[in-house]
Structure 1
Amino acid sequence: MPDISPLLALPGAVAGAGTTADHYGDLVAEQRMLAAGRAIVDLSDRGVITVTGPDRLTWLDSLTSQSLATLDAGQSAETLLLDPNGRLEHSIRIIDDGVTAWLLVEASQTAALAAWLDRMRFMLRVEVADVSQQWATLGQLLPVGSPPLVEPAAPNGVPLVWHDPWSAVQVGGWQYAAEDGHPAAEFPAVEILVERDRLAEVGVAARAGELPVAGALALEALRIAAWRPRFGGEVDDRTIPHELDWLRSAVHLSKGCYRGQETVAKVHNLGHPPRRLVMLHLDGSDALLPGHGAPVLHEGAAVGTITSSARHHELGPIALAVVKRSLDPAAALVVEVDGVAIAAAQQVIVPTDAGATAGVPRLPRLGAVQRPQA
């Protein structure tokens, strides 16, 4: 776990569960500044892994869901490490600078992922290192054509700014959500890599009023409104990418083999994901927000689980939830919070008919008699 961030010492900072601030005293103002591209978010509690060596990209390509073998220097990507049954084990945000592949991950993933990658090197020319104590990330929403608010590191001559590919369907990807009205384009998120010892100077600039800061809760609210899944929120031990519409940014459907590919192809072409991601608009009358894991109920029966929730500066209380695929999109839902039933309106992200894209006709059973058409 990285050390406590210097930005947590700023006036008004309220600590979250980790080593960074949830907010700095004004949730609404922080969201608005962040959405406008005028504030940075301290993400230094997340992990950073480096992979060096001439085989790094082809090696990562062979292990994970995205096409990475021809990633250009400075190009960003997102990829998933799946188990043999296609369930998510790790999500990885990656930028390569021509010498090093920088893997940005949740803090809880870092040690396990670095150790697994190190075991998988075999005779290939790659080296893996957990560099979270030396490097950190800062988040921002970066409008097209605007420079980052903090100068990124460039140890090999390429500025290390990871651009979130969620903003558009990537080559080789697939979107289950309806194309009209998708909010991803309003979430031009980036992560700026800096040397960890530079966080102190970032804190000095923020304290002097030269660099506005927003807390992690502001970023969470904007992420949820953009329907953007996060490993630390939406993923459990049963998750497959289709359930979260993660094929749009992190899966290449026509690349070479990788672990879990058979499940990815089978569900996408012939089957349906057993669960699906929805956004819930919550009744704000009781000023309560459901926490991670809160049950989503329909007529008294559990039909899903809250994965993330927030108060959005325009939408009010919202949440992402994973529900049964068969749940009627028009069903009346409630979420239980501290014994209070909160009404919830469902906004479809992954539709009930997601998958089965191959349209394979049903074949007659062996031995069945085919009757002539009238």
Structure 2
Amino acid sequence: MSKLWKLGTGSIVEIRGKDRSKVFNNLATQDLRELAVGQSRETFITDSKGRTFGHGLAIGLPEFHLFVSVPGQAERLVPHFDRFIIMEDATITDRSSAFTLWLAADESILPRLGIDLPAAPWPDSFTTFWNGLPAHLVRAPWAGPTSRLLLSESPELPTSCDPSLHAELLLSDLDHRSDWEALRIQSFWPWYGIDLDDKNFPQELDRDTSAISFRKGCYLGQETVARLDALGQVQKKLVKLAISGDGSIDMNVPEETKLRSGDSEVGQLRSYAPLSPGAAVGLGYVKRSHFTPGTELRLGTQGHTAVVMPRE
């Protein structure tokens, strides 16, 4: 069964004006100078020290761009963007409360939503109408390589959708997502505020190929990002972990999230989701000496083991 979750409110920042691409590009690790209608690109938003001030999706729409991500970022990002607008023609608006976010686990569910779809293959993002109100469909790998976010001004399923969807709809929200957390972790999508914050550097998230351009011009914090690239290594990195052991892991107890090799502490678990009795998947940081897939570590004090997995 394809899954559809009603998530509620996320972080949605709108950027308007003829200089919107320039302003967006000046604060992002991704090359957004030519962000076109229908394109969606993952990016970090950096501060002056090159640290991750935000992380999400940049979306090109006909009259404006959107930055879409998890809750709690918009109220920080709007003044951050505004601060660096000098003479540019651009306005920044927090549009988070205007949209309800829905997450489709894969694209097979889209024809059942009762919306007009363009001819396949579908672009990264496109605008349509749902319940008579504007809606944006965006490719977003939050729950898998073909999962889609629907940003809808309507908070309810339309009457035109497949009636069985009402029975299949999974109510969730962006702060309590246990029913799709395993999909997110398996897809290696980091969650801002849990897996990263403004103390991290972009390369520590191991998303260089999808979220960082090393060929674009200057942007805020670019010198630090370029220096780390020149060094060719970071001291810690986010990895996916296969976890085994009886019982659950209390993520609120710091000692239970520590990763060890021998007597040495080498990392920390950040996200965790059970898969079956005795098996779980997680995201955590480990030191450079333990990046290699197949590396086995001890987790916590209750006999759990964690093995570093390949990203894909």
Question: Does residue 267 of the first structure (1) align with residue 197 of the second (2)?
Answer: no
Q: Choose from 302, 307, 318 the match for 2:265.
A: 302
Q: 5+ residue gaps in structure 2?
A: 116-125
Q: 5+ residue gaps in structure 1?
A: 1-32, 168-183, 351-374
C-alpha contact (below 8 Å) 1:40/1:149 kept by paired residues: no
Q: Choose from 186, 192, 210 the match for 1:225.
A: 186
Distance 2:31 2:25 in 1: 6
C-alpha contact (below 8 Å) 1:153/1:193 kept by paired residues: no
Q: What is the SS of the residue equivalent to 2:298?
A: strand
Q: Choose from 7, 17, 35 the match for 1:71.
A: 35
Question: Does residue 92 of the first structure (1) align with residue 52 of the second (2)?
Answer: no
Distance 1:130 1:261 in 2: 25
Match in the other structure for 1:200: 156
1:129-278 alignment runs, 5 A limit? 129-143=93-107, 147=111, 149=113, 151=115, 154=128, 160-164=136-140, 187-195=145-153, 198-201=154-157, 210=166, 212-214=168-170, 215=172, 216-278=177-239
Give me the CA root mean square deviation: 3.2
Q: State the number of aligned residues.
A: 290
In structure 2, relative to structure 1, the CA distance for the partners of 1:107 and 1:146 (3 Å cut) is closer
Question: Does residue 108 of the first structure (1) align with residue 72 of the second (2)?
Answer: yes
C-alpha contact (below 8 Å) 2:101/2:151 kept by paired residues: yes
C-alpha contact (below 8 Å) 1:97/1:160 kept by paired residues: no
Cα deviation digits, residues 59-87 of structure 1 (max 9, x gap)? 21122111112112121112211123321
Give, as a single letter, the amino acid of the residue that structure 1 aligns with 2:270.
T
Offset, 1:93: 1.3
Match in the other structure for 1:60: 24
Give, as a single letter, the amino acid of the residue that structure 1 aligns with 2:67.
L
Match in the other structure for 2:306: 344
In structure 2, relative to structure 1, the CA distance for the partners of 1:321 and 1:126 (3 Å cut) is same
Give, as a single letter, the amino acid of the residue that structure 2 aligns with 1:59.
V
Identity %: 25
Offset, 1:219: 2.6
Q: Choose from 289, 292, 302 the match for 1:326.
A: 289
Distance 2:276 2:165 in 1: 23
Higher strand share: 2
In structure 2, relative to structure 1, the CA distance for the partners of 1:349 and 1:97 (3 Å cut) is closer
Distance 1:204 1:313 in 2: 37
Give, as a single letter, the amino acid of the residue that structure 1 aligns with 2:190.
P
Distance 1:158 1:112 in 2: 26
In structure 2, relative to structure 1, the CA distance for the partners of 1:161 and 1:80 (3 Å cut) is same
In structure 2, relative to structure 1, the CA distance for the partners of 1:345 and 1:53 (3 Å cut) is same
Distance 1:272 1:143 in 2: 36
Max Rg structure: 1
C-alpha contact (below 8 Å) 2:27/2:219 kept by paired residues: yes
Offset, 1:316: 3.5
Q: What is the SS of the residue equivalent to 1:248?
A: helix
In structure 2, relative to structure 1, the CA distance for the partners of 1:67 and 1:194 (3 Å cut) is same
In structure 2, relative to structure 1, the CA distance for the partners of 1:277 and 1:209 (3 Å cut) is closer
Match in the other structure for 1:280: 241
In structure 2, relative to structure 1, the CA distance for the partners of 1:223 and 1:269 (3 Å cut) is same
Distance 2:46 2:75 in 1: 17
In structure 2, relative to structure 1, the CA distance for the partners of 1:97 and 1:332 (3 Å cut) is closer
Offset, 1:221: 0.7
In structure 2, relative to structure 1, the CA distance for the partners of 1:46 and 1:207 (3 Å cut) is farther
Match in the other structure for 1:311: 274
Distance 2:291 2:60 in 1: 43
Distance 1:285 1:203 in 2: 45
Distance 2:299 2:290 in 1: 15
Q: What is the SS of the residue equivalent to 2:107?
A: coil
C-alpha contact (below 8 Å) 2:113/2:162 kept by paired residues: no
Q: What is the SS of the residue equivalent to 2:290?
A: coil
Question: Does residue 289 of the first structure (1) align with residue 253 of the second (2)?
Answer: no
Give, as a single letter, the amino acid of the residue that structure 2 aligns with 1:89.
F
C-alpha contact (below 8 Å) 2:16/2:65 kept by paired residues: yes
